[in-house]
Structures are given as structure tokens and as C-alpha cells.
């Protein structure tokens, strides 16, 4: 089984030392500073071979005080990345930082280790919708009609809501009139400037100005100044793509893009607080559990088991209903009671048998890889004690003048807590 791994290279006195960690979450390990990051890597010994599947790369040059790093699974919000960067700068005093794009991870490793590099191996897969209509149809309810002329409600969630987040587009036309539009993502057509993109966007159903927490990326078209402002997880790479596709426009990116887009719209909006943004990624930094397939499936399995128990309870009720009705109409309560007891016993035994078979199946699949993942390296860098990790994190937050853990905890991301075992 191919296992995703991070490749870390430490450079000291001109000598390179390469380390590999299976299922590593680099932003969690780096946040505790250079000494603890190095100690964590060294404890597991140097790598014998390059990983088949890269999930991240970190290059620490102690000679020049430079940290270059990147991950496939990056933080979903640019503001989250900015707040994380504040914490990282505090943890690595005197270091300068360079971000490695996910599309460059393989190339960087091959260059460092003097390995052959095939550009096709590092091509970044981009699944953005091709055109405006496709991007809108996955976001706005009622965009498609079926063969009978009825609306297809595949997307029945309102735009910019908890379960339907997307790209926010603001258009300021040549008369100064402002309109808001929503897409599931900025389409390739929008990025490349092909066709009559602005006209297609204007023709879409208008949306209300969204709250920041429901926006994944934003784009402002100012036709008066022929100016475009992008903000979001696409970062500088996407800005360069827009500059190529819209050569007659000035393309900018702003750190406070949401507020700027609200200002251009003449509305205050609902910006996220720093505590809300921190709540989306702090659980991952606080986790002291090794991230491997068994633990991930175990965490998700716990949630699935709860759902299965609820479903089994509903099934038991449905099966028991005829027995209860017989008891009501015939008065055979004692006999019905025995029947109900027998039914419950059969259902419980059946549930346990199925649960045991599923667990056995998973263990058979993961057994060999789980054994291989048991390393001398500690599960995480930094303190292993949960209380000490929280204390250290609180100290970092206060030093960076950011909200405390107590202020951020109400916004902790439920999915991260489930996967990382913080909801036990």
C-alpha cells in the first residue's frame, strides 16, 4: 500500500540530512520551533529512500537560517495561513520563510537529493469548473431543469451558507452600480478571461453580500478603473493566472480582501474574528496523536458506529411495532414481552457480529502497513503532554497578540476534532 509521507531535509555545516515521516502534518510539527522539530526528526533516523507519495516538504537550512516548506493539504483560508505564519515566525526567531507550492514539492525534493525529475509527476490537478454556467449550477439552487422542465434541486442549500460555501464575485460596472454573484469556485473561464465572462456573470442570479466564513475566495471586478482584486487560497499563483488572462486589467491581491470587497460594495459585511479563524486549525496543532490510516479510520469509525447504533435502534422499533400492536389488540402482553426480548437479543447479537467482521476486515487490510508505521520517532514534535501543549500554545498566542485558546475554543472545527481525537 502506497503511504503518503513528508520529506524533510536539514542542512547544517553544508551537510544534508534527509528524513521521512509517514502521514506527517508538517504545520503541526513545525510550530514548536527548530530545536524540537530537529529532535523529533532525528529520533526516527534518516530515510533510506525517497517516499513514493509526497504530502509535504520542509527544508531547514540552519546555516542561512531559512525554512522553506509546503504541504498538499494546505490551510483552506488565506487568513488562516496568515495567522499561522505569525505563530511560526514567533516559534522560529531569526529565520526567514519561503512557501513551497504543492505543485513544486516533487521538484524541490529531486533537486535537493539529486534525483531525476519528470515534470509530469508533479502536475497539479485542478478540478475547477470550466465555465461560468457550470460553476453557478453547482452553487445556485434551480440552475438546471430536467427533461420535464422542472427545476433540478441537486443544490437545495441557499448560496453562502454552512453547507454551500463558495466564491464571492463583486462587479462594479462603468456607472458605479454594484452587483454580487456567487459561484462554487472561480471557473477556468473567469481566470483566463475567455469569452464574455463579465456578461455571463451579470446574467446570473444576484446574491446577498455573504458572511466571510462562508466564502472560500473572492474576486472584485472594478470596470471603472479596469482593476481586479483577488483574495483566497489560490494566492499568488492564481493572481499570476489572472494577470495572464486579463492583460489589460490591473490585478492585485490583498490580505484583507474580504473587508476591501465589502468596502467596494458599500456594506459592512460580517467578517470573521481572529478567534474564529484560529478555531479552524488550532485543534490540528494541539493534537498529540500520530496521523495514520488506522487512527483516521478509527476516529471516523467511532462516528459511523454512533450513526449505526441510531439506525439499529430505529430498525428495532420498526420490527417491534407489529409485536406491540398484537399485544394491544389481543392482550397477550406476557407473550409479546418475551417476543420483544428475543428480538432485542437477536438484533444486538447481529450488530456485534457485523461490527466484528468489519473490524477484522479493516485490520487485515491495514495490518501490514500499520506495523511498518510503528517508528522510533515520537508521534508528534513538541511536548507530548496535552496540558503542556495547550500551555505552550497559549503562550505563543499571547506573544503574537492573538486570541487565547479559551477565546478560540468555541470555534474549534468539529471535523478536525473528530479526526484528531480531541472530542474524546
User: Over the stretch 289-305, which tens digit does the pLDDT of each residue have?
Assistant: 876 554 444 444 444 55
Flag whether pLDDT at 20 surpasses 90.
Answer: yes
What mean pLDDT is predicted for residues 95-118? 86
How much is the pLDDT for 279? 94
How much is the pLDDT for 359? 60
Query: CA Rg, the chain, in Å?
Result: 27
Greater model confidence, 149 or 403: 403
Determine which helix (DSSP H) or strand (DSSP E) holds 85, and give its type and residue range.
Answer: helix 78-91
CB 236 within 8 A of CB 205: no
Determine which helix (DSSP H) or strand (DSSP E) holds 180, and give its type and residue range.
Answer: strand 178-183
Cβ within 8 Å of residue 299, ≥6 positions away: 418, 419, 420, 421
How much is the pLDDT for 24? 86
Looking only at the bridges linking them, the beta strands covering 53-61 and 4-12 are parallel
How much is the pLDDT for 373? 43
What mean pLDDT is predicted for residues 60-68? 97
Q: Please state the pTM of the whole predicted model.
A: 0.75
Residue 130 carries which DSSP code? S
HSE toward the beta carbon, residue 325, CA cutoff 13 A = 6
Flag whether pLDDT at 419 surpasses 60.
Answer: no
Phi, psi values for residue 273, rounded to 5°: -80, 160
Closest CA to 69 of 19, 8, 22, 115: 8
In this structure, the dihedral spanned by the alpha carbons of residues 129, 132, 134 and 138, taken in order and rounded to 10 degrees, is 90
Residue that the C-alpha cell 422542465 belongs to: 149
Closest CA to 205 of 185, 183, 189: 183
Determine which helix (DSSP H) or strand (DSSP E) holds 329, and give its type and residue range.
Answer: helix 293-330
What mean pLDDT is predicted for residues 36-57? 89
How much is the pLDDT for 136? 93
CB 272 within 8 A of CB 216: no
Strand partners, 12: 15
C-alpha cell at 72: 498538499
Flag whether pLDDT at 150 surpasses 60.
Answer: no
Largest Cα span, the chain: 90
Strands in 184-302 per DSSP E: 215-222, 227-232, 250-253
Helices (H), 114-180: 132-137
CB 142 within 8 A of CB 151: yes
Looking only at the bridges linking them, the beta strands covering 15-22 and 66-71 are unpaired
Least confident range of 32-41, 110-119, 126-135, 359-368: 359-368
Flag whether pLDDT at 213 surpasses 80.
Answer: yes
Helices 78-91 and 386-399 sit at what angle, rounded to 10 degrees? 100
How much is the pLDDT for 392? 98
For 119-155, the three-class secondary structure string (H helix, E strand, C coil) is HHHHCCCCCCCCCHHHHHHCCCCCCEECCCCCEECCC
Least confident range of 27-31, 250-254, 282-286, 360-364: 360-364
Residue that the C-alpha cell 509530469 belongs to: 120
What mean pLDDT is predicted for residues 310-335? 79
Flag whether pLDDT at 286 surpasses 80.
Answer: yes
CA gap 244, 251 in Å, rounded = 10
CA gap 183, 172 in Å, rounded = 17
What is the set of domains in the chain, with CATH numbers?
Answer: 4-122 (3.30.420), 132-272 (no CATH), 288-419 (no CATH)
What mean pLDDT is predicted for residues 111-121? 74
Helices (H), 92-234: 105-113, 132-137, 188-192, 197-202
Amino acid at each position: 500500500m502506497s503511504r503518503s509521507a513528508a520529506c524533510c531535509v536539514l542542512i547544517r555545516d553544508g551537510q544534508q540530512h534527509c528524513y521521512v515521516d509517514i502521514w506527517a502534518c508538517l504545520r503541526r510539527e513545525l510550530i514548536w520551533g527548530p530545536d524540537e522539530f530537529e529532535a523529533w526528526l532525528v529520533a526516527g533516523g534518516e530515510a533510506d529512500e525517497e517516499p513514493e507519495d509526497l504530502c509535504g516538504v520542509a527544508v531547514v537550512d540552519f546555516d542561512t537560517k531559512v525554512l522553506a516548506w509546503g504541504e498538499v493539504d494546505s490551510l483552506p483560508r488565506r487568513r488562516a495561513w496568515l495567522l499561522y505564519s505569525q505563530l511560526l515566525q514567533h516559534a522560529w526567531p531569526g529565520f526567514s520563510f519561503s512557501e513551497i507550492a504543492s505543485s513544486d514539492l516533487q521538484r524541490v525534493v529531486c533537486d535537493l537529493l539529486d534525483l531525476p525529475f519528470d515534470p509530469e509527476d508533479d502536475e497539479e490537478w485542478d478540478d475547477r469548473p470550466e465555465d461560468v454556467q457550470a460553476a453557478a449550477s453547482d452553487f445556485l439552487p434551480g440552475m438546471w431543469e430536467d427533461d420535464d422542465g422542472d427545476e433540478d434541486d441537486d443544490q437545495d442549500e441557499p448560496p453562502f451558507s454552512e453547507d454551500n460555501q463558495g466564491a464571492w464575485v463583486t462587479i462594479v460596472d462603468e456607472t458605479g452600480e454594484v452587483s454580487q454573484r456567487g459561484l462554487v469556485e472561480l471557473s477556468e473561464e473567469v481566470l483566463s478571461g475567455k469569452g464574455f465572462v463579465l456578461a455571463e456573470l451579470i446574467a446570473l442570479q444576484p446574491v446577498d453580500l455573504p458572511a466571510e466564513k462562508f466564502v472560500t475566495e473572492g474576486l472584485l471586478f472594478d470596470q471603472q478603473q479596469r482593476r481586479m482584486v483577488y483574495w483566497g487560497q489560490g494566492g499568488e499563483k492564481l493572481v499570476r493566472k489572472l494577470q495572464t488572462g486579463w492583460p489589460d486589467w490591473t490585478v492585485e491581491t490583498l490580505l484583507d480582501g474580504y473587508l476591501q470587497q465589502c468596502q467596494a460594495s458599500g456594506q459592512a459585511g460580517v467578517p470573521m474574528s481572529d478567534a474564529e479563524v484560529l478555531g479552524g486549525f488550532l485543534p490540528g496543532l494541539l493534537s498529540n496523536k500520530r496521523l495514520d490510516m488506522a487512527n483516521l479510520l478509527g476516529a471516523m469509525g467511532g462516528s459511523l458506529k454512533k450513526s449505526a447504533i441510531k439506525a439499529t435502534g430505529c430498525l428495532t422499533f420498526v420490527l417491534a411495532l407489529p409485536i406491540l400492536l398484537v399485544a394491544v389488540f389481543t392482550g397477550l402482553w406476557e407473550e409479546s414481552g418475551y417476543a420483544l426480548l428475543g428480538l432485542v437479543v437477536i438484533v444486538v447479537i447481529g450488530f456485534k457480529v457485523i461490527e466484528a467482521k468489519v473490524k477484522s476486515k479493516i485490520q487485515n487490510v491495514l495490518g501490514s502497513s500499520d506495523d511498518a508505521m510503528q517508528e522510533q520517532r515520537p508521534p508528534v514534535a513538541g511536548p507530548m503532554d496535552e496540558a503542556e501543549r495547550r500551555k505552550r500554545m497559549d503562550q505563543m498566542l499571547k506573544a503574537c497578540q492573538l486570541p487565547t485558546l479559551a477565546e478560540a475554543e468555541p470555534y474549534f472545527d468539529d471535523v478536525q476534532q473528530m479526526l484528531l481525537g480531541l472530542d474524546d
